[in-house]
A = this chain, B = another copy of it.
């Protein structure tokens, strides 16, 4: 299969899962990918890439990394690209295998649990925030958009090339929480106000904490509500229904950082 055919195929979640591969598109994302430990299988480039100094530098770095390249016309490139204004470069890389059980043992950590988050932009921004704010991992429960969807990869700005982000089932998550003596909290508008939680002093904040954040419309799933040890809320003005889930996740992670 040519790299072009492969890249087109990888637009579908099923193909990404079967092949264990994903696509990173654009100069910035591909630069980030080359700096990461992920294995790059190949790259597609169009003449447009060399119209830019940064693009030309990137094109020559594929040779240094011994990465196979296929050079395409603009029209061919556009058929594989997912952005409206492609920058003439995309790379195909291996999805890292990172099960929950393989996460390093720590006495103090935070994990973000995505409970059926639908919007790829939200998921990417949450992965980026989790990485920036020092979380150990981001895990996606069933019903969440694929973490290796092109839009998620773009909006994470390459954060999940370094930060462990992967999907898991409820039984896997439950086993992890039990084995690592980890507390699960959920973010929910009707929960305990975060101010009150923090006012109880540092000993009220678990050392090992998983924070679940829920679907944009429906909030947390019944499974998460049943399993969570506590619900926490951010106080907001009554005229506004809720904060955007990525903003709420960022604020809570920041407030609960250790």
Contact = CB atoms under 8 A, between A and B. Distances in A.
A233 to B, nearest CB: 12
A129 B250 CA distance: 12
A243 B129 contact: yes
A132 B246 contact: no
A144 interface: no
Interface in A227-241: 234, 236-237, 239-241
In the assembly, how many copies of this chain are there? 2
Interface in A136-183: 155, 157, 159, 162-163
A239 B132 CA distance: 8
Contacts of A246: 125, 244, 246-247
A134 interface: yes
10 contacts: A128-B240, A129-B243, A133-B236, A134-B237, A157-B241, A159-B240, A244-B246, A244-B250, A251-B251, A254-B254
